[in-house]
Structure 1
Amino acid sequence: MQSNRTVSVVIPAKNEAPSLAGVLARIRNLPMVSEVVVVDDGSTDATAEVSIAGGASVTRNPYSLGNGGAIKAGARAATGDILVFMDADGQHQPEDIPKLLEKMDEGYDMVVGARTSANSQAGLHRAAANGFYNRFASWMVGQPILDLTSGFRAVRANKFRRFLFLLPNGFSYPTTITMSFFRSGLPVAYLPVEVKKRIGRSHVRIVRDGIRFLLIIFKIGTLFSPMKLFLPVSLGFFGTGIAYYVYTYLTQHRFTNMSALLLITSVLVFLIGLVSEQIAALNFKGTDGDDHL
């Protein structure tokens, strides 16, 4: 493990006082950690006080900005070369941090602590949803993604901060940053980790956040690989138009307006996808520098 780098642990926290003391005490036992930054995201309990007592520096949001907003605030405040993001609820094990850092030494810019079906504490519905997200994202980037939504990860700070402008303020920051790294050709690794049952209540709401994640899927498609969404739709319209033309030609011996509409729509969808692909490329202009730690 490299000895000349500094490691900052960033913990977003909203009303997590009951679990924070134990988490911070375990982090203090890790000699490679240079600092711990707790982002108090509009808490109404003693989150800030417990964090200070536990030796962490505290960044306070005057009101809740969301998990992604807290992550961005922590990334700006942290001073380490490596940023380790983890939850404050006791699910992520501080003892896994050295494993993430050792994996980074193999040449990766981001290492994600991946939950597996054997150790995940998510319910059946969330496990199924996460599996769908993983498969969809893997298809989009052409690389296997084992855990798209894991909030436990280690990243190189200079690489991570390039994408702050893309990150949403809600719960979908892991999705966006993972896709951003893959889109920019930055190496990402997954490391299976043990996940415990959280302490306290979850801030995720099934219906509300489920709808948000559904929207995220479409946003991911149009932001990172538009043609992988637009091309199948275009081919679908084209195939339907050809099939309908064959049908009307055989039964009525003519080319109908509906066939023309379907074929024209296929061309328009393809052209929109082509333009979207160019816009997506512009989003990542300037994020492909060659600096390394």
Structure 2
Amino acid sequence: MKPYLSIIIPAWNEGGHIEDTLRYLQEQADLLWSPAMRFEIIVVDDGSRDNTYEVAWPWADKLIKHSRRCGKGAAMQSGIAEARGDLLLFLDADLQATAGEALVLIEPLLRSEADMAIAKLPPSRTKAGFGLVKGLARRGIRRLSGYETEAPLSGQRAVRADRLRELGKLRRGFGVEVALTIDAARRGLRIVELDVPITHRETGRDWHGFVHRGKQFAAVGMTLLSRWRERKPVWYSSDRSSI
């Protein structure tokens, strides 16, 4: 039977970016896989106040709309509930022309070399934050799961659907990737990290950027605290590595 891939894209107020993301993704997927693999694109509009839903409509196989903003993790969970694939690929909505590059993440899963593959993005070309959020996330993941990650905040990741469902519901907010990595490592999933030339919108060192990163820092901190309170035995496997 052909592999079935569900591409899940949570989106909030991405009307200016999501059309290009979906168009390039569709073109690259058709070029690489048709007819070798079945795939679907699921967009979850997390209560956007702009035209994200209308812009995404022509490009999505399934389009879900939340009546209010519920958080990235909740949007991802809504996509999982509708996904038919045995492989899941989570992507951000603002990747635009680089969206197709993320398809490489499913290759280790197809070769049965990994249960989860996470994209390591190129270094930022502009001055952004000071690395506080990423540093907190990396240290927290290492302390709580034993897994050493280079991409603790990456939203671009592929995972086997059956292994993901073993982990239960995702955390609702912006700490979802950190929680997912901790849960996957504790559960013994084989995790790899790949260098992928993906770019997306970045926040700078302006007021908006500092506010955004402040919210991220708080979300990651709360995620780590919740996982610390829910500590379980670590099923660490030496098979997990970076590629």
TM-score of the two chains, using structure 2 as the length reference: 0.81
Three-state SS of the structure 2 residue aligned to 1:194 is coil
The two structures, once aligned, show a CA RMSD in angstroms of 2.6
Shift of 1:96: 2.2
Partner of 2:118: 112
Structure 1 position 38 matched with structure 2 position 36? no
Q: Which amino acid aligns with 1:190?
A: E
1:138 to 138, 142, 165: 142
User: Deviations 1:18-40 (Å, cap 9, x if unpaired)?
Assistant: 11111111111113361100001
Partner of 1:25: 23
- Report the Cα distance in structure 2 between the residues aligned to 1:121 and 1:189, rounded to whole angstroms: 27
- Report the Cα distance in structure 2 between the residues aligned to 1:160 and 1:106, rounded to whole angstroms: 15
- Report the Cα distance in structure 1 between the residues aligned to 2:126 and 2:228, rounded to whole angstroms: 28
Query: Residues 112 and 153 of structure 1 are in contact (CA less than 8 Å); yes or no, is this contact kept in structure 2?
Result: yes
- Report the Cα distance in structure 2 between the residues aligned to 1:12 and 1:47, rounded to whole angstroms: 11
Shift of 1:160: 1.2
Gaps of 5+ in 2: 236-243
Three-state SS of the structure 1 residue aligned to 2:159 is strand
The 1:7–1:129 alpha-carbon spacing in structure 2 relative to 1, beyond 3 Å, is same
Query: Residues 13 and 51 of structure 2 are in contact (CA less than 8 Å); yes or no, is this contact kept in structure 1?
Result: yes
Larger relative contact order (C-alpha < 8 A, sep ≥ 6)? 2
Partner of 2:238: none
User: Deviations 1:218-271 (Å, cap 9, x if unpaired)?
Assistant: 2232323xxxxxxxxxxxxxxxxxxxxxxxxxxxxxxxxxxxxxxxxxxxxxxx
User: Deviations 1:158-195 (Å, cap 9, x if unpaired)?
Assistant: 11122233x22100111111111110111011112234
Shift of 1:157: 1.0
Partner of 2:160: 156
- Report the Cα distance in structure 2 between the residues aligned to 1:196 and 1:70, rounded to whole angstroms: 22
Structure 1 position 147 matched with structure 2 position 151? yes
Three-state SS of the structure 2 residue aligned to 1:17 is coil
Structure 1 position 211 matched with structure 2 position 209? no
Q: Give the fraction of aligned pairs with identical amino acids, expressed as a percent.
A: 26
Structure 1 position 87 matched with structure 2 position 129? no
Query: Residues 102 and 119 of structure 2 are in contact (CA less than 8 Å); yes or no, is this contact kept in structure 1?
Result: no
User: Deviations 1:264-283 (Å, cap 9, x if unpaired)?
Assistant: xxxxxxxxxxxxxxxx35xx
Partner of 1:274: none
More helix by share: 1
Partner of 2:239: none
Partner of 1:168: 171
- Report the Cα distance in structure 2 between the residues aligned to 1:131 and 1:115, rounded to whole angstroms: 16
Query: Residues 120 and 195 of structure 1 are in contact (CA less than 8 Å); yes or no, is this contact kept in structure 2?
Result: no
Query: Residues 82 and 157 of structure 1 are in contact (CA less than 8 Å); yes or no, is this contact kept in structure 2?
Result: yes
User: Any residues of structure 2 matched to 1:207-246 within 5 Å, and which?
Assistant: 207-224=214-231
Gaps of 5+ in 1: 225-279, 285-293
- Report the Cα distance in structure 1 between the residues aligned to 2:52 and 2:220, rounded to whole angstroms: 28
After superposing the two structures, state which structure 1 stretch, 50-59 or 11-20, moved more.
Answer: 50-59
Bigger radius of gyration among the two:
1
TM-score of the two chains, using structure 1 as the length reference: 0.68
Three-state SS of the structure 2 residue aligned to 1:88 is coil
Three-state SS of the structure 2 residue aligned to 1:164 is coil
- Report the Cα distance in structure 2 between the residues aligned to 1:197 and 1:51, rounded to whole angstroms: 18
Q: Which amino acid aligns with 2:182?
A: M
Partner of 1:193: 196
Count of residues paired in the alignment: 221
